[in-house]
Amino acid sequence: MQLFYNPQLNKNDSAVLFRKEESRHIVKVLRKKEGDKLFVTNGKGLLFTAVIKQADHNKCFAEITGYQEAEARKYKLHLAVAPTKMNDRFEWFLEKATEIGIDEITPIICEHSERKKVKLNRFERVLQSALKQSLHYTLPVLNESVSFDKFIQENSAKAQNFIAHCEDGPRKTLKNQVELNNNYTILIGPEGDFSSAEIIKALDNKFTPISLGKSRLRTETAAIVACHSIAFLHEND
């Protein structure tokens, strides 16, 4: 199944016009022709079926023949992750988290962050590509970067909140803290970890300290472990 993405589609639309890049891919690469079926998602939980009416490599046009809604997950996951120094490592995280299943991502700028500025355009393209590849129908929300302090202030009262850090002190494994079928926010720090002041601030705002295992993980690896752990715990629920 080849999946295409068009965020403008809604339930009332009767047709879809593909952009030049996608039109070329459909006609020139996939060699689709009039009468062939296509699958398109709007990234908002809907999967549309369409039939090509005009197989033009500049303006491919298809008639929508139906749609279905994806089954909603029983939980919501929001990862707040410090951007990595190398963009490709953060992009790897975005790709894999989308494949596994995630609802929202916020880059957070911490005291020890090596990267202070984030450009979202390329990150959005990574998410869209991963969405199509994994055959998911809901595109994760990618927020603008925000300071650690501001994020804590705005999210302290939401659902189950966790902070994964490496400092000594009482921490329990994530799997032993999760209340199933809930909303979760998990903080993942930079390579130098969260500062002591940041950890204290998170705990003061009711973030539960957790461990993601015995190994010391890179930022992007820790984020993937957290994402997969939540998904795995709900696998047989």
pLDDT in tens, 68-83: 999 888 899 999 999 9
Contact by Cβ (8 Å): 61, 23: no
Instruction: For residue 187, give the nearest of 230, 140, 232, 148 by alpha carbon.
Output: 148
Confidence bin at 49 (pLDDT 50/70/90): very high
Instruction: Quote the percentage of the chain above a pLDDT of 90.
Output: 81
pLDDT for the residue numbered 171: 86
Tokens of 230: 């939540």
Report the half-sphere exposure of 203 (CA within 13 A, side-chain side): 15
d(CA 174, CA 191): 20
* CA separation, residue 64 to residues 16, 36, 39, 43, 136 (Å): 7, 12, 9, 16, 19
In one letter, which amino acid is 108?
A: I
Residue 237 has pLDDT above 70, yes or no: no
Residue 130 has pLDDT above 70, yes or no: yes
Report the half-sphere exposure of 109 (CA within 13 A, side-chain side): 10
Give the CA radius of gyration of the chain: 20
Give 167-204 pLDDT, tens digit per residue.
Answer: 887 888 998 999 999 999 999 999 989 999 999 999 99
DSSP state of 138: B
Buried b (16+ CB within 10 A) or exposed e, 113-131: bebeebeeeebeebbbebb
Pairing relationship of beta strands 172-173 and 15-17 according to DSSP bridges: unpaired
Q: Of 42-46, 143-147, 213-217, which range is least confident?
A: 213-217
Confidence bin at 110 (pLDDT 50/70/90): very high
d(CA 46, CA 5): 10
Helix (H) or strand (E) holding 21: helix 20-24
Q: Which three-class secondary structure state does DSSP give residue 87?
A: helix
Helix (H) or strand (E) holding 173: strand 172-173
Q: Which three-class secondary structure state does DSSP give residue 203?
A: helix
- In terms of C-beta density within 10 A (0-12 exposed, 13-18 middle, 19 or more buried), how is residue 2 classed? middle
Instruction: Quote the percentage of the chain above a pLDDT of 70.
Output: 99
Q: What is the pTM of this model?
A: 0.91
